[in-house]
Amino acid sequence: MISTDLSTSKGGNLGQMMLKPIVVQVVFDKPLAQGFDYLWDAEKIGKLPEIGNLVEVPLARSKSVGLVIKVSDHSDFDIKKLKSVNYLAPLPALDPSMLRLINFASQYYVHSLGETILPTIPQMWKKSDEWGQILQKIEVAEKKKAKNKALVTEGLITKDRLNPNQKEALDALIANKEKAGGFRAILLQGQTGSGKTAVFLNWLADILEDESAQVLLLVPEINLTPQLERRVNAYFPEKKMVVLHSGISEKKRGIAWYEAMTGKAKIILGTRLAALTSLPYLSAIVVDEEHDASYKQQDGIRYSARDLAIWRAHDLGIPILLSSATPSLETWMAAQSGRYENIRLDQRAQGAALPKVHLINTRDPQNQYSPGDVGAPKQKSLITKTLALAITKNLEAKKQSLILINRRGFAPVLSCNACNWLSKCTQCSTYTVMHKAGSIGNKALLNCHHCGLVKSIPSFCPDCGNADLKTLGHGTQKLEDAIEEMWPNASVLRVDIDSSRKSKGAEALFQKIHEGHVDIIVGTQMIAKGHDYQNIGLVAVLDADSRLYSADFRAAERLFAQLVQVAGRAGRAGTDGEDGGAIYIETQYPESPVYQYLLHHDVDGFLAFTANEREEAKLPPCSYQALIHAEGKSLEKAIQFLNELKQFLRARGVITKELKIYDPVPKPIMRVAGSERAQLVIESMNRKTLQEALEVIDQHLRHNSQGRISKTSRVRWLIERDPIAI
């Protein structure tokens, strides 16, 4: 807990305070249950300490930057032996509401306070040797930036240009303000391209009329920030906006964070990491594409930025708007039950129809090429005849086609025709993926997407010496080749991490698409989300089935959302009644519920169906889960570690009717980079029961570990709350 024993942590009487020692407790980015105490020499530092100050202190034989979480006049340790704080960062203390947030996050996600907050502070502020000149440097950079600000009007749709649906939504948002006051959670649910962005930007305009107000606008991916950034700039040319995500330079991020936490920046646009920024005048939050899995941090403290944002809004008594065409089941159920307001936009902004859905049954010979067909590809291709004809028609109509395949590289595995050798990764329980020359290195290579291992392609089978090696399966590069061969006159662009690394980032690739220089786009999920394309007539999904059946109970929910989202990239600019483009899905299982609900654009139907399933199976969001991850030299050790934990919990009486603990199992990808991994699922219908169990587990494991590595078995462990993949 963050606390202070002084009547006030701020502005106390310096003279009076000097009579007693001043002790501060400081936390670091380490899995320590507690912080360390230091003496505060107010005369030397020139200020009294405040909770939320960033300081440099001696730690072990070195020095470290940490956060003050307690100010007091005594210590449980011998005061004479305490070391002193070296320096205070030239920053205001973090806002008290921010401290409440990290306090909550630290308890909820069972991580130390230091581990929760310090990773969110930009490196620039953790290098104390730069503190001396940091503010001058920022001033210079700010002046330079202010000069370069160009006026843009992209995507600006003012209040009076909103269509009647949007107006109604905006009116509801603004009118309910008086009614609800304080905290409100609102789901803005609307078809893809229905103009949700325009609605929430106009809503923020209302909030930003208060000069000091700050608003936080969260987006799931870096790739989505440039387009939204331009739109926000168009709406609020006078307001200072900062962008916070991991893709900007450390210096830029350091300055942006400073402007946000000092209240100078009024609009904070960022990815999940921005959700943990101190914002003293925070007045409203928007979570765009709230269903997106990217809001969940996947290493260290595995928090959900969306969930923390909701907690924060509640704590501050401010509104939070969750926007999506495909809400997560959690959010949708909360809106259905009336816990959240539900505001809907059920028509596309300019009146275009929704894209027509075509399910191509790949088992039906009519959809496939027969030998001798005109235009049949030379190599076996993923593109069916039915899809090829549709693409040709779309090209003729001068529209762009978007083809999604969720696998980068040329082919997911290389194999030997004679002995069935497969290109396994030596460090992981996966295969190395074949990449074409020019994608990772100059030569064609084998690359493991889990550990990064890179190997040259053998000329002969390493097992039997046979020279006849062939690729199995398809990745974006193979598909790109096939398309170039089938439509030699079309300009084809591949969009995946590899191609964006080679160009000037993904933004340059998206720019090419927007400028209309591309006819066919082949890409991974990177192309599926939130982009506002203007001329896509056709979307095709080639490997949807691979995600249809999975051990993970959320697989169908994720696939459905992705299909609706990618379909929604088509036909966006169409006006009244105009055709809204089409989506073609190649599948062997056209009858499966995911596809059937999609066929009718029935998002609510699909969610109701899924909610039913989860209720029957008592799975989240109808129950709560946590995972204990374990990884070690061998799978046996990891499993044994988890089994011992389970036995301990049983002996302690933690396992009750209220709390279910499954048996430890290997992870879906069991071995990564030489470590073998297992997991234990813990489940309860009751959040509090789960919380208490996790605290017992954390205490027990910590007691027997150094950091998060077990002293006896050397197994590394981690607790994850609300996992999104099992």
Ligand X SMILES: Nc1ncnc2c1ncn2[C@@H]1O[C@H](COP(=O)(O)OP(=O)(O)OP(=O)(O)O)[C@@H](O)[C@H]1O
Binders of ligand X in range 528-557 (CB under 6 A): 530, 532
Longest dimension (CA), the chain: 96
451 binds Zn ion (CB under 5 A): yes
Q: Which of Zn ion, ligand X, none does 450 bind, CB closer than 5 to 8 A by kind?
A: Zn ion
The amino acid at 127? K
Q: Examine residue 196 and tell whether it contacts ligand X (CB under 6 A).
A: yes
Near ligand X by CB under 6 A, which window of 125-133, 186-194, 376-384, 670-678? 186-194
Pick the closer one to ligand X by CB: 72 or 227: 227
- Shortest approach of ligand X to residue 222 CB, angstroms? 16
Using CB under 6 A as the binding rule, whether residue 162 contacts ligand X is answered as yes
Q: Determine, following the binding rule CB under 5 A, whether residue 103 of this chain makes contact with Zn ion.
A: no
The contacts of residue 521 (CB under 8 Å, 6+ apart) are 400, 401, 402, 403, 492, 493, 494, 495, 513, 527
> What is the C-alpha to C-alpha distance for residues 649 and 643, in angstroms, rounded to an integer?
10
**Pick from ligand X, Zn ion, none: which does 195 bind, CB < 5 to 8 A by kind?**
ligand X
The entry of ligand X, Zn ion, none near residue 349 (CB within 5 to 8 angstroms by kind) is ligand X
Query: Which one, 169 or 672, has the nearer CB to Zn ion?
Result: 672
Of the candidate spans 12-20, 193-201, 356-364, 368-376, the one that interacts with ligand X by CB under 6 A turns out to be 193-201
Q: Among 428, 495, 678, 719, which residue sits at the site for Zn ion (rule: CB under 5 A)?
A: 428
In angstroms, the CA 653 to CA 670 distance is: 30
DSSP 223: G
State which residue, 327 or 632, has the beta carbon closest to ligand X.
327
Among 89, 134, 320, 325, binds ligand X (CB under 6 A): 325
197 near ligand X (CB under 6 A): yes
Pairing of strands 341-345, 184-190: parallel
Interface mask toward ligand X for 486-525; x: CB under 6 A: ----------------------------------------
Look up residue 351 and give its DSSP letter: B
Task: Determine if 450 is a binding residue for Zn ion (CB under 5 A).
Answer: yes
Q: Which residue from 4, 106, 166, 524 is in contact with ligand X, where contact means CB under 6 A? A: 166
Distance CA 702, CA 707 (A): 7
- With beta carbons less than 8 A apart as the criterion, state whether 537 and 581 touch: yes
The residue among 350 and 511 lying less far from ligand X, judged by its C-beta, is: 350
The beta strands (E) that lie in 198-307 are given as 214-218, 241-244, 267-270, 282-288
- The residue type of 6 is L
The rounded distance, in Å, linking the Cα atoms of 446 and 429 is 15
- Contact between 155 and ligand X by CB under 6 A: the answer reads yes
Q: Is 161 in the site for ligand X (CB under 6 A)?
A: yes
| Residue 219 or 697 having the CB closest to ligand X | 219
Q: Which does 536 bind (CB under 5 to 8 A by kind): ligand X, Zn ion, none?
A: none
Nearest residue (CB) to ligand X, 30 versus 159:
159
User: Is 572 an interacting residue with respect to ligand X (CB under 6 A)?
Assistant: yes
Amino acid, single-letter form, for residue 84: S
Report which DSSP code applies to 346: -
> Would residue 78 be called left, alpha or beta, if left means φ above 0 and alpha means ψ between -120 and 50 degrees?
beta
Interacting residues of 267 by C-beta distance below 8 A, sequence separation 6+: 204, 208, 214, 215, 217, 232, 236, 239, 240, 241, 242
Contact 257, 277 (CB under 8 A): yes
How far is it, in rounded angstroms, from Cα 19 to Cα 24?
16
State the DSSP string of 46-98.
SS---TT-EEEEEETTEEEEEEEEEEES--SS-GGG--B--EE-SSPPPPHHH
Rounded Cα distance between 679 and 537, Å, is 44
The verdict on whether residue 622 carries a ligand-binding annotation is no
Distances in Å between the Cα of 519 and the Cα atoms of 416, 488, 508, 514 are 36, 11, 16, 11
Interacting partner of 664 out of ligand X, Zn ion, none (Cβ under 5 to 8 A depending on kind): none
Select from 621, 620, 581 the least CA-distant residue to 601.
Answer: 581
Under the criterion CB under 5 A, does residue 453 sit at the interface with Zn ion? Answer: yes
Instruction: Work out how close the CB of 446 gets to Zn ion at its nearest, in angstroms, rounded to a whole number.
Output: 10
- Calpha distance 714→479 (Å, rounded): 44
451, interface contact from Zn ion, ligand X, none, CB < 5-8 Å by kind: Zn ion
> Measured between alpha carbons, how far is 655 from 238 in angstroms, rounded to an integer?
57
Cα 205 to Cα 188: distance, rounded to the nearest angstrom: 17
Q: How far is the CB of 561 from ligand X (least distance, A)?
A: 11
Select the residue interacting with ligand X from 112, 163, 415, 524 (CB under 6 A).
163
Query: Cα(116)–Cα(137) distance, rounded to whole angstroms?
Result: 28
Closest CB to Zn ion among 436 and 450?
450
Among 85, 88, 318, 448, binds Zn ion (CB under 5 A): 448
CB-nearer residue toward Zn ion: 428 or 541: 428
Instruction: Say whether residue 413 binds Zn ion (CB under 5 A).
Output: no
In the complex, the smallest distance separating the C-beta of residue 556 from ligand X, rounded to whole angstroms, is 21
Compute how many residues bind ligand X; rule: CB under 6 A.
21
Nearer to Zn ion, 454 or 508 (CB): 454
DSSP 131: T
Binding residues for Zn(2+): 416, 419, 425, 428, 448, 451, 461, 464
Residues that bind Zn ion (CB under 5 A): 425, 427-428, 448, 450-451, 453
Residues that bind ligand X (CB under 6 A): 155, 157, 161-163, 166, 190, 192-198, 325, 349-350, 530, 532, 568, 572
Annotated binding site: 416, 419, 425, 428, 448, 451, 461, 464
